[in-house]
Structure 1
Amino acid sequence: MVRTVRRLVAVLTGGFAAAVLSLGLAETARAAPKPPPAGVEITGQGLAEPLRLRADDRPAHVVALIDQVNFLTRTGQAKGPKAADLGPRYTVVVFAGDVAKQTYDLYPKAVGGPRVFRPAKQPDARKTTAGWFLGRLNMSETLRTAGVPLERQFDAVSGGAGGGERVIPEEALNPTKDLDEAFGELQRLMLLNIAVVLVITSGLAGIALLVRRRTR
């Protein structure tokens, strides 16, 4: 009788554990859908059609292009260089999946160094102020390697002007953040599942001990 009860407890424990773990994994799959890939779209001089890049096939180029605008502060200069000193303009739109989030005008050949203009009107209806900013010194090379027809600059250095508060939403800038959060959520749910299994196991063990005492 005691052996039968023990076997029954073991079967029930295994069944509860499998059910709880399966439920937890199913809830995680539903609660943490795959985040849409980030992307950028470039239009401007020399481009017959928009140049679209996505993080799932060209992640290095997408990150490098977003890095050209992710350092901008909330307030820039009200006036920029004269139109004759700006050179060619390239409009960069940042996407989250197929949804446009931010737009910026880049001037890699501006007199005195690259410039960035942030329009007040943004595609995601976020409230911001128009402003001019000094761009990164490697702007021209970043655009060129992404596919924009610009002459190569051998004296371009990594980085350049920048700093300040990031104004683009983090989920649009870092396509792996949502994935990291999903893994973190999975770990928390796994720990919760383990705790539930331990509680159930302890309860079944108590029931088995009580049955054993009564059958003696």
Structure 2
Amino acid sequence: MVRRMRRLAAVALGGVAAVLLSAAFAEPVRAAPKTPPPGVDITGHGLTEPLRLRAETHPEHVKAIVDQVSARGLVRQASSPKKAELGPKYTVVVFAGDVPKQTYDLYPKAAGGPRVFRPAKQPDRKSTAAWFLGRVSMSETLRTAGVPLERTFEAVSGGIGGGERIIPEEALNPAQDINEAFGELRRLLLLNVAVVLVITIGLAGIALLIRRRTR
């Protein structure tokens, strides 16, 4: 019995020693790679060469341009605008470090307000071609970044004479919006009913199992 205990102790000590040695000579854990800094290239009307902006030298401009093409802040259009009403085009390529990731076509002077077009062919993947209503500040953002555009007042004017509608009439469809809202509500209610039924059936099964075992 004593010998057996000694063997177990020796094996345990050997295992602890092996773990300590492996930890001492193991290669240190490498830190997770840092996210490459963002950047943008802008080409288009009035630019003789690409306008290259990087986070290291122009952080505010890069952030402002990326915000212009961020899908979270854009409203998708069901139909494509007329080409004659788009005005000058500026292509923005978004980089992660030196690797191009996304490309968009910006139309700051489009009739009815700025437009954004996402081509189906992207630098690193295939997407779905889509048109979006751009931000009202697109023209001024591009201008301050170095694009040769005239200064504009990025606000909807009122008072005498009124102001131009930023969102065109054809983009406003209250009936469609209401139908979509009711459809989402219907799906949500059906999902909730399904969850309640699953929970109820589960509780009934558990109660039946407990009742059989207690008999």
Kindly provide the CA deviation profile for residues 156-181 of structure 1, in whole angstroms up to 9, marking residues without a partner as x: 48xx98xxxxxxxxxxxxxxxxxxxx
Give the direction of change, closer, same or farther, for the CA distance of 1:87–1:138 in structure 2 (3 Å limit). same
2:32 matched to 1:32?
yes
- The alpha carbon displacement at 1:71 in A equals 2.7
TM-score, structure 2 as length reference: 0.57
2:135 maps to 136
The structure, 1 or 2, with the larger RCO (C-alpha pairs under 8 Å, 6+ apart) is 1
AA aligned to 1:38 is P
Change (3 A) 1:130 1:72: farther
- Which residues of 2 match residues 1-216 of structure 1 at below 5 A? 27=29, 30-71=30-71, 76-77=76-77, 79-125=79-125, 127-156=126-155
Q: Flag the 1:131–1:61 CA change in 2: closer, same or farther, 3 A.
A: same
Question: Which position in structure 2 is the counterpart of 1:211?
Answer: none
Superposition deviation, residue 154 in structure 1? 2.4
Shift of the 79–149 alpha-carbon distance from structure 1 to 2, 3 Å rule, reads same
Q: Deviation digits for residues 94-131 of structure 1, max 9, x if unmatched?
A: 00011000000000000000000000110011x32101
Aligned CA-pair RMSD: 2.9
Closer, same or farther: CA 74–113 of 1 in aligned 2, 3 Å: closer
SS in 1 for 2:147: coil
Q: 1:72 to 1:118 in 2, by over 3 A?
A: farther
Cα shift at 1:73: 8.2
Deviation at 1:93, TM superposition (A): 0.5
Q: C-alpha displacement at 1:69, in angstroms?
A: 1.1
How many pairs were matched up? Answer: 137
Q: 1:75 and 1:146 mapped to 2: Cα distance?
A: 24
The structure with the larger Rg is: 2
Please give the per-residue CA displacement for 1:60-117, whole angstroms capped at 9, x wherever unaligned.
1101000001135899435322111100000000000110000000000000000000
Gap regions ≥5 residues in structure 2: 1-19, 157-165, 168-215
* TM-score normalised according to structure 1 size: 0.56
User: Contact conserved, 1:74 with 1:129, CA < 8 A, in 2?
Assistant: no
CA contact 2:75–2:132 (8 Å) conserved in 1: no
Cα separation, 2, equivalents of 1:45 and 1:74: 23
Alpha-carbon shift at residue 38 of structure 1 (Å): 0.6
